[in-house]
């Protein structure tokens, strides 16, 4: 009788966020296939403790050093090893003991641990798009050198990845990223000038964290996805399109050289791309709600409103410029979104901060890793000076 396959050991970097908690939901339903090896959180010590007690990982990291003693004390009666601080994220990412990393730390902070896992040749289930936005050339080169598979978790990139399975010999003519349009689809600047935080967080189709919800509302999220797609699928900027698709049923499409288009479809539920990445190359049975086409008699598509949602245009500028432009764009956007969430600036000010920062920070055509870090720091400082933080 054949022995059972060993369980996949999963390291979730960013376990208390939207992606992390949904990944644990998937693992909870598939305990015969997966086990949790590592959990990390930035500040949410209470949830990290609860997750650790339930899933018994080998190690956990709390990013906020001031919460280390609380986490350590709460887990003192377990075998869980507790670490703290930014450096600990890299050290734990360097462990041999896990098979796959779910890279779900929000923003630039996810870059270093993800790079460490890539250098270990780990499978990366990538939910942190900023890793490739900031330093996609370096990350993908290292992934090639260390034979580290990168499986996208973003619904759009997962859709493209799924459409490309079995198509390795067929060149891509273009990809089409779909966007819901966010909560302000069809609105004009005279409406957006008065938008408040709570309104911007109300996405019509997806349940997401605060930062990505605001990025969706400004369409910056779609711009970041265009940059990520360039690196993931080795594309030229001219091969990447965006179309507004309010129903969020088609998650993205690939057009091949013969004109044929493949689309990946389903209900808007992040658990599906998370499960696909964890189980790849197998599709795992689940009880998720199924798409009923009778409930979606009309699927519509339209051009994005680049004049109103100028963040998308700024991201395209960064995509076409290359170099450190996308790194600067991302850094300025993280600062501006943080300020908006703290009610320090208005909704339209997010775009103004990003644009001024992109114009101010020196352009570097072929940055090394340290220059990416320097550009990120310079952009954050400049953006913060505009907001007078």
Q: Over the stretch 170-216, which tens digit does the pLDDT of each residue have?
A: 999 999 999 999 999 999 999 999 998 888 888 777 667 789 899 99
Q: Is the pLDDT of residue 237 over 70?
A: yes
CA 251 – CA 208 distance, rounded (Å): 16
Long-range contact list for 189-195, CB < 8 A, 24+ apart? Answer: 189/308, 189/348, 192/308, 192/347, 192/348, 193/346, 193/347, 193/348, 195/346, 195/347
What pLDDT sits at residue 388? 72
What pLDDT sits at residue 203? 74
| Two tokens, residue 25 | 């939901």
> What is the C-alpha end-to-end distance of the chain, expressed in Å?
65
Q: What are the distances in angstroms from CA 289 to CA 164, 268, 271, 282, 292?
A: 24, 10, 11, 19, 9
What pLDDT sits at residue 207? 65
Question: 3-53, pLDDT tens digit by residue?
Answer: 578 999 999 999 999 999 999 999 999 999 999 999 999 999 999 999 999
Q: Is the CB of residue 62 less than 8 Å from the CB of residue 86?
A: no
What pLDDT sits at residue 334? 95
Give percent of the chain above pLDDT 90.
92
Residue 175: beta bridge partners? 240, 254
Three-class DSSP labels, the chain: CCCCCCCEEEEEECCCCHHHHHHHHHHHCCCCCEEEEEEEECCCHHHHHHHHHHHCCCEEEECCHHHHHHHHHHCCCCCCEEEECHHHHHHHHCCCCCCEEEECCCHHHHHHHHHHHHHCCCEEEECCCHHHHHHHHHHHHHHHHCCCCEEECCHHHHHHHHHHCCCCCCCEEEEEEEECCHHHCCCCHHHHCCCCHHHHCCCCCCCCCHHHHHHHHHCHHHHHHHHHHHHHCCCCHHHEEEEECCCCCEEEEEEECCCCEEEEECCCCCHHHHHHHHHCCCCCCCCCCCCCHHHCCCCCCECCCCCCCHHHHHHHHHHHHCCCHHHHHHHHHHHHHHHHHCCCCCCCHHHHHHHHHHHHCCCCCCCCHHHHHHHHHHHHHHHHHHHCC
Question: 240-274, pLDDT tens digit by residue?
Answer: 999 999 999 999 999 999 999 999 999 999 999 99
Question: 353-387, pLDDT tens digit by residue?
Answer: 999 999 999 999 999 999 999 999 999 999 999 99
What pLDDT sits at residue 209? 79
Looking at the chain, which residues constitute the CATH 3.40.50.720 domain(s)?
8-152
CA 139 – CA 17 distance, rounded (Å): 23
Q: Is the pLDDT of residue 288 over 70?
A: yes
**pLDDT category of residue 112 using cuts at 50, 70 and 90:** very high
Please, what is the Cα angle at 69 between 64 and 74, to 5 degrees? Answer: 110
**pLDDT category of residue 70 using cuts at 50, 70 and 90:** very high
**pLDDT category of residue 389 using cuts at 50, 70 and 90:** low
Q: Which strand ranges, in their side-by-side order, compose the sheet holding 172-179? A: 240-244, 172-179, 250-256, 261-265
| Domain spanning 8-152: CATH 3.40.50.720 | yes
CA 338 – CA 68 distance, rounded (Å): 25
What pLDDT sits at residue 387? 94
**pLDDT category of residue 125 using cuts at 50, 70 and 90:** very high
Q: Is the pLDDT of residue 1 over 80?
A: no
Q: Is the pLDDT of residue 91 over 70?
A: yes
- Count of alpha carbons within 13 angstroms of residue 338, beta-carbon side: 14
Q: What are the distances in angstroms from CA 380 to CA 275, 279, 323?
A: 34, 37, 17
Q: pTM score, two decimals?
A: 0.94
Residue 150: beta bridge partners? 124
Q: Is the CB of residue 246 less than 8 Å from the CB of residue 300?
A: yes
What pLDDT sits at residue 199? 86
Query: How large is the average pLDDT for residues 283-304?
Result: 96
- Give the mean pLDDT of the chain: 95
**pLDDT category of residue 166 using cuts at 50, 70 and 90:** very high
Q: Which residue has the tokens 């808007």?
A: 268
What pLDDT sits at residue 206? 61
């Amino acid at each position: 009788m054949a022995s059972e396959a060993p369980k996949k050991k999963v390291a979730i970097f960013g376990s208390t966020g939207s992606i992390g908690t949904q990944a644990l939901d998937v693992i909870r339903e598939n305990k015969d296939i997966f086990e949790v090896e590592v959990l990390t959180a930035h500040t949410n010590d209470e949830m990290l403790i609860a997750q650790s007690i339930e899933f018994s990982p080998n190690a956990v990291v709390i990013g906020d050093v001031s919460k280390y003693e609380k986490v350590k004390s709460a887990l003192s009666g377990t075998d869980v090893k507790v670490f703290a601080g930014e450096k600990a994220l890299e050290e734990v990412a360097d462990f041999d003991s896990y098979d796959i990393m779910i890279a779900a730390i929000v923003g630039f902070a996810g870059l270093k641990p993800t790079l460490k896992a890539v250098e270990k040749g780990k499978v990366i289930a990538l939910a942190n798009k900023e890793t490739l936005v900031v330093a996609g050339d370096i990350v993908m080169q290292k992934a090639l050198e260390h034979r580290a598979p990168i499986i996208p978790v973003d619904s759009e990139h997962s859709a493209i990845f799924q459409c490309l399975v079995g198509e390795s010999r067929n060149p891509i003519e273009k990809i089409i990223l779909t966007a819901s349009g966010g909560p302000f689809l069809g609105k004009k600047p005279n409406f957006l000038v008065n938008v408040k935080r709570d309104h911007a967080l109300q996405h019509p189709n997806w349940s997401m964290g605060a930062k990505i919800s605001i990025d969706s509302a400004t369409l910056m999220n779609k711009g970041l996805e265009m940059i990520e797609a360039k690196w993931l699928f080795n594309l030229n900027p001219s091969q990447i399109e965006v179309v507004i698709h309010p129903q969020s049923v088609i998650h993205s499409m690939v057009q091949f050289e013969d004109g044929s288009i493949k689309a990946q479809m389903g209900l808007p539920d992040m658990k599906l791309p998370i499960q696909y990445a964890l189980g790849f190359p197998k599709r795992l049975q689940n009880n998720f709600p199924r798409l009923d086409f009778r409930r979606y008699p009309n699927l519509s598509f339209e051009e994005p409103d680049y004049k109103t949602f100028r963040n998308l245009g700024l991201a395209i500028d960064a995509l076409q410029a290359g170099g450190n432009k996308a790194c600067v764009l991302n850094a300025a956007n993280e600062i501006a979104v943080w300020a908006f969430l703290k009610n320090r600036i208005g909704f339209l000010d997010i775009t103004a901060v990003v644009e001024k920062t992109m114009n101010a920070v020196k352009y570097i055509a072929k940055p090394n890793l340290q220059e990416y870090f320097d550009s990120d720091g310079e952009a954050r400082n400049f953006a913060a000076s505009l907001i007078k933080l």
